[in-house]
Amino acid sequence: MNNVKSFSAHTDCTTVLVGKKASIDGSILIARNEDFHLAISPKIFVLEKAVNEANRIYKSKNTGVEIPLPTKAYRYTSVPQAYPNDKENQGVYGEAGINEKNVALSSTESVYGNARVLAYDPLVKNGIAEDAINDIVLPFINSAREGVNYLGKLIEKYGSAEGNGILFADLDEIWYMEIPCGHHWVAVRIPDDCYAVAPNQVSIEKIDFKKPDYYMWSKGIKEFVNEHKLNPDREGFNFRHIFGTASEKDRVYNTPRAWFAQKYLNPEIEQSPVSNDIPFIQKANRLISVEDVEYILSSHYNETEFDPIGIGNSEFNKTRFRGISLSRTAESHILQLRPKSPKGLEGIQWLALGTTAFVPYIPFFTNVLDTPTAYKRMTRMVSTDNAYWLFKLIGHFVEAHYSTFKDDNNAYLTEMQSYGRARVKEITDAAAKIPAKSLSEFLTEENRKTAEHVLKRTKEYLSDLMLESFKYSKLSFTMDKNL
C-alpha cells in the first residue's frame, strides 16, 4: 500500500489471473500474495454474515472515511487482520473472499501513479484505502462487472487514499481494476483464454474506449488526460504509459516478478527481467492449473541465478531483485470459481498462511455457515492450535536449514497438494447426495474435517523439523566418545 498521512506500506503483493479457457478444468482463478511490512502479521479466515440493516455507516479505522452502506447484503468469506485495532496495523484488511452470489474479490495490489498524474489528481488523505475495500464492496455486488462499477463510483465520490489494483471475478468473467491516483481509474476484462500478472505497478496497457464490454473507466478520464497533456504517446491510450511508472525501483522491485511468472508459463518467450515492456496479459503455452498458480506465488526465482536461497548464486544476484514469496507474506489466496460444478459448490478459497515457499494452499468451500476454529481464532502468544502460527513455524524452521530440509519440505507440500485436490473431488462427489437446504451445513463440516487433517499432519511435520533442527546448533563440536 502506497500511502498518504502516516500509513506505512501495508501490502506489496503479486497478482495472478487466469481465464476459464486458459485453465486446465475451465475454472476461473484470481490469486494474490498479501505481503506485509512486518515480519509477523496474524491473519484469520472468517465468514462475514449478511447484515440487512438500514442506515449503516462504514468508518475506516485507517483513513476515517465514512461510507453509507446498502440495506441488502450478502454473506462472504474474508481474511482480515486478527488484531485490527493495533496501532501499527489499524484496519480490517479483509483482503479476499467469495460472496454467496459467487462473486470473488481480492484487494489490493498496490500500484503507484507517476508524479505528473498525481500533480493534477492527488491521493485523498481521508479517502478509500485497502483496509476498507472488501467490506464496502463484496457484500453488495452480484457480478464482477457490477463490482468494478460499484467501486468506481465510490472512488469518484470519496477519492482513493492510495494506488490500488483490485481483482474481481464471477462464474463468467475476470476484471482487473487499477486506481493510481485520487479519482481516476480503469478496468479491463481478462480474455477467457489468457492469464495476467501484476507486480505492484500500473499494468493495464491499451484502453479501447469503443469497447465498453471489455474496458471500463472513470468519468472524464479522457478529458483529464487531454487537459493536462499527460499522454506521452503520439497515438492511442496506453494507461501504463500515461498513469504508471517505469523507474529504477520498478526494475528491481516489480518487473522481475512478472518476468519470472511469464518465464514459467511461457518459457519460449525471451524477455529481460528489467524490461519496461513486459505485457500484462499473455497466453500460456499450456493450460494452467491451481498448482501452477501456487508455484508462481510460492516462487523465489527458483532455478535461476537470482534465487536468494539458491546454491552457488552470487551474493549480488541473490539480492538483486525482490522475489514473489517473502518471509513477510502474511497470507496468499487462490479464489477458484468453477462454472461447471454443481450448484452451491462453485466457490473454493485456497488459503496459505505465512511464507508461501514452505507452506501449502488448503482448499475451503465458500458456500458455508462458518470457518474452521483453528483458522478463525488467534492468540497473541504462539500456539500450534492456530493455523497462522503453525504455518509460520514451519516456514521458520525450513528456511533456517533450507539445504537440509528442502527435500522433506517438498515432499510435505506435494502430499498436501494431492490431499487438497483429492478433498475437493471427495467433497464434490459426496455433496451430490446432500439436499440443497443442507448443503451449506455439509460444506461447513467438511471444511472442518479438512482443517483438522491438515493441522494434525502439519503438527507432526513441525515436530520432525524441530527434532532434526536440534542437530544443527552452531554451539556444537565433535565430541570424544570416550569422555
Cα–chain-centroid distance for residue 85? 22
Q: Report the distance separating Cα 378 and Cα 376, nearest Å.
A: 7
Catalytic residue check, 194: no
DSSP summary character for residue 283: -
**CB-CB contact of 288 with 195 (8 Å):** yes
**CB-CB contact of 257 with 168 (8 Å):** no
Place of cell 440443497: 436
User: How many of the other CB atoms lie within 10 Å of CB of 23?
Assistant: 23
Q: What's the maximum distance between 2 C-alpha atoms anywhere in the chain?
A: 87
Cell of 37: 511490512
**CB-CB contact of 53 with 43 (8 Å):** no
Cell of 133: 475495500
Place of cell 465458500: 366
E strands along 271-400, which residues? 281-282, 329-337, 347-353, 362-365
The angle that helices 290-297 and 255-265 make with each other, rounded to 10 degrees, is 150
Choose among 93, 35, 34, 39: nearest CA to 61: 93
Cell of 143: 457480478
The SS3 call for residue 115 is helix
> What is the torsion angle, in degrees rounded to the nearest 10, for the CA atoms of residue 418, residue 419, residue 420 and residue 425?
90
Instruction: Report which residue type is found at 197.
Output: V
Q: Report the distance separating Cα 203 and Cα 279, nearest Å.
A: 8
Going from the C-alpha of 90 to that of each of 7, 8, 64, 82, 336, the distances in angstroms are 9, 11, 11, 11, 29
Place of cell 499473455: 282
List, in sequence order, every residue forming a beta bridge with 109; answer none if it has no partner.
Answer: 165
Backbone torsions φ then ψ of 144, nearest 5 degrees: -65, -45
E strands along 311-355, which residues? 329-337, 347-353
The SS3 call for residue 141 is coil
User: How many of the other CB atoms lie within 10 Å of CB of 311?
Assistant: 8
Catalytic choice (13, 154, 194, 242): 13
Annotated catalytic residues are: 13
